[in-house]
């Protein structure tokens, strides 16, 4: 067995409409388009953070229907921000584009936690989180005994 610790390289999401999803992840969340495949049956987009040419997220237009919460597979995708102020900037941008939140505004990960964030869905219904590790002390926790990111 290898002794190297694995790290997440990138996340690939199946989407039903690449143009719609690309606009969401690029224009609202700020990802940078690195490469795009335009062949009709093989459309995709590689997205990065703008600091390197390494993809962080790939979108594959091959879903026939929206995300299913009850199906096995991806539970949610969480993005880390560097400050609670930055999380609130994302909240404003998401609200301006009519995104519906699972909880009202920035919430704590658990009762009394200093970490927390926003919980919402992308255009295909994939559950997303933008969180920060500190700075939300005193924010409400939607679930008394379970992690907020576990049930939304």
104-134: pLDDT as tens digits: 999 999 999 999 999 999 999 999 999 999 9
Instruction: Return d(Cα 151, Cα 31) in angstroms, integer.
Output: 26
Residue 57's pLDDT is what? 96
Average pLDDT over residues 88-99: 96
Q: Which residues contact 70 (CB under 8 A, 6 or more apart)?
A: none
Residues classed as catalytic: 129
Question: Between these two residues, 41 and 15, which has the higher pLDDT value?
Answer: 15
Residues 124 and 135: beta-carbon distance below 8 Å? no
Q: What's the whole-number average pLDDT of the chain? A: 93
Instruction: Return d(Cα 90, Cα 105) in angstroms, integer.
Output: 11
Residue 129's pLDDT is what? 97
Reduced to 3 states (helix: H, G, I; strand: E, B; else coil), residue 105 is coil
Instruction: Return d(Cα 139, Cα 67) in angstroms, integer.
Output: 29
In this prediction, residue 3 has a pLDDT band, given cuts at 50, 70 and 90, of confident
Average pLDDT over residues 35-59: 92
Residues 36 and 42: beta-carbon distance below 8 Å? no
Residue 4's pLDDT is what? 76
Instruction: Return d(Cα 91, Cα 104) in angstroms, integer.
Output: 10
Instruction: Return d(Cα 147, Cα 150) in angstroms, integer.
Output: 5
Residue 33's pLDDT is what? 97
In this prediction, residue 95 has a pLDDT band, given cuts at 50, 70 and 90, of very high
Residues 13 and 58: beta-carbon distance below 8 Å? yes
Residue 11's pLDDT is what? 95
Say if residue 1's pLDDT is above 90: no
Average pLDDT over residues 17-46: 95
């Amino acid at each position: 067995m290898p002794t190297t610790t694995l790290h997440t390289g990138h996340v690939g999401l199946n989407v039903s409409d690449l143009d719609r999803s690309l606009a969401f992840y690029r224009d609202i969340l700020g990802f940078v388009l690195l490469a795009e495949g335009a062949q009709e049956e093989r459309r995709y987009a590689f997205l990065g953070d703008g600091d390197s040419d390494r993809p962080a997220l790939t979108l594959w237009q091959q879903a026939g229907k929206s995300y299913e919460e009850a199906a096995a597979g991806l539970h949610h995708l969480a993005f880390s921000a560097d400050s609670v102020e930055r999380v609130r900037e994302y909240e404003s941008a998401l609200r301006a584009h009519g995104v519906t939140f699972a909880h009202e505004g920035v919430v704590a990960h658990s009762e009394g936690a200093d970490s927390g964030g926003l919980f919402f869905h992308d255009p295909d219904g994939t559950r997303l989180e933008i969180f920060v590790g500190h700075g939300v002390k005193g924010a409400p926790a939607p679930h008394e005994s379970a992690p907020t990111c576990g049930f939304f």
